[in-house]
């Protein structure tokens, strides 16, 4: 009995050991999941619901897991910036028009044509006071205004003061067309006096067109009208239109309006001089300012004039340069004037001797032949 009892005891102990061993293995299997399962669950879609033991079938191999972890995400390529070009972008055809000029530049007086502000070299103290702050005047102040049409190789100047209008020469027919535009711009309907400096076509033949635009009440001449064909035409036309014709001479004085504007006539009469060098010159003064119109008088006439009258009567602030600046001036005459500005009834850059001389003398110069622009002196 003792042997049988011992045998049963050994069997029971052995069985208990087997049970304990099997139970421990089962607990380890349940509590510890397979290595790499967490990574697979984060990167791979889980399988359909089923037995829990099937989860390990989707565990990726270690090599696959490393590839997934190490593969960088694609980086988007940067959008290239637009290439800068030196050429400006063309303006669309539907672009709005340019803005109107500033309101303070407007005035009740006529403006130069076209409506854009004139260049700095053109003196216009009335219409553009902001452009010339050192020379502004009240609009109700009496001013002597001098206008030139945009002409070349012809003479015409419009003087306005205290309700009166004078013309110094009227150009030829081509220049008179420009003169008509100026008179229209200034709303001039009547010319009190037209002074003719000499009877050449580029100073007289525009009379008919000028008279069509603004009635000429009187013409003043200083030569016999039978000396040139243009003189004969002037006599015929003024007779037909019943325009008064009177003569004037060297030393005559004329005044405008209240008498503050005075014109002195200076004229050579030497028979040895041609008509250009005998043409009438006008020195116009207003208070302490003056402008000298020299018509077509060239060097021989300048020498004769300064020798006869001396330098004092030649002093001026502005000179209407003689004969469209075709020739240089006599140096003593030029120096006696002391002018600060020259007006040339021609086009800039033509290279005439007078133009070259003005450049060499560093004289500020206004050329009247500028497209769409009238010259305005105040």
Q: Are 46 and 56 within 8 A, CB to CB?
A: no
pLDDT at residue number 128:
59
User: In terms of C-beta density within 10 A (0-12 exposed, 13-18 middle, 19 or more buried), how is residue 155 classed?
Assistant: buried
Q: How many CB atoms lie within 10 A of CB 141?
A: 7
Three-class SS state of 357 = helix
Q: Tell me the backbone φ, ψ of residue 142, rounded to 5 degrees.
A: -70, 125
What are the structure tokens assigned to 228, written together? 């040139």
Tens of pLDDT, residue by residue, the chain (378 residues) = 555 565 666 556 566 656 655 555 444 444 444 433 333 333 333 344 444 444 434 444 444 444 444 444 555 555 555 444 444 544 433 333 333 434 433 334 444 344 444 444 445 555 555 655 555 556 567 889 999 999 999 999 999 999 999 999 999 999 999 999 999 999 999 999 999 999 999 999 999 999 999 999 999 999 999 999 999 999 999 999 999 999 999 999 999 999 999 999 999 999 999 999 999 999 999 998 999 999 999 999 999 999 999 999 999 999 999 999 999 999 999 999 999 999 999 999 999 999 999 999 999 999 998 887 888 887
- Whether the pTM exceeds 0.75: the reply is no
Strand segments (E) across the chain? 145-148, 156-161, 164-170, 190-191, 193-195, 215-216, 218-221, 244-247, 253-256, 261-266, 281-286, 289-293, 318-320, 341-344, 365-367, 375-377
**Per-domain residue ranges of the chain:** 114-377
What lies within 8 Å, CB to CB, of 349 at 6+ separation is 355
Return the CATH number of the domain spanning residue range 114-377. 3.60.15.10
pLDDT at residue number 9:
61
């Amino acid at each position: 009995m003792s042997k049988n009892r011992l045998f049963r005891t050994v069997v029971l102990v052995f069985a208990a050991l087997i049970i304990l061993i099997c139970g421990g293995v089962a607990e380890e299997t349940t509590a510890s999941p397979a290595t790499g399962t967490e990574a697979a669950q984060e990167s791979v879609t889980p399988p359909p619901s089923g037995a829990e033991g099937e989860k390990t079938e989707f565990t990726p191999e270690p090599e696959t897991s490393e590839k997934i972890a190490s593969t960088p995400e694609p980086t988007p390529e940067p959008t290239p910036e637009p290439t800068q070009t030196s050429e400006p972008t063309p303006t669309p055809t539907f672009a709005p028009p340019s803005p109107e000029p500033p309101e303070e530049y407007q005035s009740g007086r006529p403006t130069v044509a076209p409506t854009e502000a004139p260049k700095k070299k053109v003196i216009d103290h009335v219409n553009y006071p902001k452009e010339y702050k050192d020379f502004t005047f009240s609009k109700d102040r009496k001013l002597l205004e001098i206008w030139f049409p945009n002409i070349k190789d012809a003479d015409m100047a419009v003087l306005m003061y205290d309700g009166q209008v004078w013309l110094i020469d009227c150009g030829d027919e081509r220049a008179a067309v420009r003169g008509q535009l100026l008179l229209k711009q200034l709303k001039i309907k009547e010319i009190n006096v037209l002074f003719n400096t000499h009877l050449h076509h580029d100073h007289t033949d525009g009379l008919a067109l000028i008279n069509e635009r603004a009635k000429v009440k009187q013409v003043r001449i200083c030569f016999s009208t039978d000396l040139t064909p243009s003189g004969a035409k002037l006599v015929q036309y003024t007779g037909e239109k019943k325009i008064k014709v009177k003569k004037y001479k060297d030393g005559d004085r004329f005044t405008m309006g209240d008498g503050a504007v005075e014109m002195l006539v200076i004229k050579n009469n030497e028979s040895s001089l041609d008509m250009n060098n005998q043409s009438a010159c006008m020195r116009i003064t207003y208070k302490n300012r003056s402008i000298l119109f020299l018509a077509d008088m060239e060097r021989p006439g300048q020498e004769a004039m300064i020798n006869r009258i001396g330098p004092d009567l030649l002093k001026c602030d502005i000179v209407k340069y003689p004969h469209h600046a075709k020739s240089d001036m006599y140096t003593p005459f030029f120096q006696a004037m002391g002018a600060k500005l020259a007006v040339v009834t021609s086009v800039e850059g033509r290279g005439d001797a007078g133009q070259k001389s003005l450049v060499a003398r560093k004289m500020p110069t206004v050329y009247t032949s500028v497209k769409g622009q009238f010259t305005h002196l105040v």
